[in-house]
């Protein structure tokens, strides 16, 4: 059985290389930039009281639990420095992402057992995952690359739990460390943590077409 290494090389390491190139202001074709987003915006599939549903959502990898607080502290310090007139905010945010997540020295810190996302709508997906945590995430990059992940979806919502949710804070911060930040909206955006159980190679290759991959490996 082929290991799931090719999925993580595509979903994480290719994306890390893109982040490094943007940070270093290396020239990239519009086509490559577009294709790099395919590993960021998969379809999250759910089934529950809202019926069978699929929703395109931005996803990201996260540090292992023992590194979450340290990384979150660095993100928040940066976010609190935001000034609308400061043109260097996003660049410094990229530097933090490379230092704590995407750089070669940081990749041992990454938790490859799960994937995180934010819920900005709280409609079909949210209702379904509250009732039924079974989930599928489907990735596709034209013309031939596709991977299917199956597992369980956790919801981390401070407005629902009434307690601090580190993953909700972290994923909102990881978004805002590069984009225009707004910590006031963090409570409105619950976090999803998808725990990976199975990975399938759906690529249009002799080893793909729904072939189960060895995971963990």
pLDDT tens sequence across 94-124: 999 999 999 999 999 999 999 999 999 999 9
Question: How confident is the model over 15-60, as pLDDT tens digits?
Answer: 999 999 999 989 888 888 888 889 999 999 999 999 999 999 999 9
pLDDT of residue 32: 84
pLDDT of residue 184: 95
For the ranges 85-89, 126-130, 164-168, which has the lowest average pLDDT?
85-89
pLDDT of residue 33: 83
Q: Which residues of 27-38 are buried (b: 16+ CB within 10 A; e: fewer)?
A: eeeeeeeeebeb
Average pLDDT, the chain: 96
Sorting pLDDT into bands at 50, 70 and 90, what band is 69?
A: very high
pLDDT of residue 78: 98
What percent of the chain has pLDDT above 90? Answer: 93
User: Residue 138: is its pLDDT beyond 90?
Assistant: yes
- The closest of 120, 119, 149, 151 to 134, measured between CA atoms, is 151
Domain residue limits, the chain: 5-213
Q: Which architecture characterizes domain 5-213 according to CATH? A: Roll (2.30)
d(C-alpha 213, C-alpha 9), whole Å: 14
- Over residues 149-178, the mean pLDDT reads 97
Look at the block and give the residue holding tokens 């805002």. Answer: 176
- Non-local (6+) Cβ contacts of 112 within 8 A are 8, 12, 61, 196
d(C-alpha 198, C-alpha 57), whole Å: 20
pLDDT of residue 30: 86
């Amino acid at each position: 059985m082929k290991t799931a290494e090719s999925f993580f090389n595509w979903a994480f390491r290719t994306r890390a290389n893109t982040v490094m190139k943007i940070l270093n202001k290396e020239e990239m074709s519009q086509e490559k930039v577009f294709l790099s987003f395919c590993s960021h915006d998969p379809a999250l599939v759910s089934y529950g009281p809202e019926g069978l549903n699929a929703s395109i959502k931005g996803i990201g990898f996260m540090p292992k639990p023992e590194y979450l607080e340290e990384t979150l502290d660095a993100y928040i310090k940066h976010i609190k420095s935001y000034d609308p007139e400061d043109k260097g905010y996003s660049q410094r945010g990229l530097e933090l992402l490379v230092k704590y997540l995407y750089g070669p020295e940081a990749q041992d810190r990454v938790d490859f057992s799960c994937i995180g996302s934010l819920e900005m709508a709280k409609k079909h997906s949210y209702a379904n995952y509250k009732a039924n945590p079974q989930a599928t995430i489907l990735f596709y990059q034209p013309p031939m690359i596709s991977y299917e992940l199956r597992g369980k979806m956790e919801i981390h919502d401070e407005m629902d739990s009434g307690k601090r949710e580190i993953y909700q804070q972290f994923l909102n911060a990881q978004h805002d460390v590069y984009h225009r930040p707004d910590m006031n909206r963090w409570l409105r955006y619950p976090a999803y943590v998808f725990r990976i159980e199975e990975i399938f190679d759906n690529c249009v290759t002799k080893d793909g077409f729904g072939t189960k991959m060895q995971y963990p490996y």
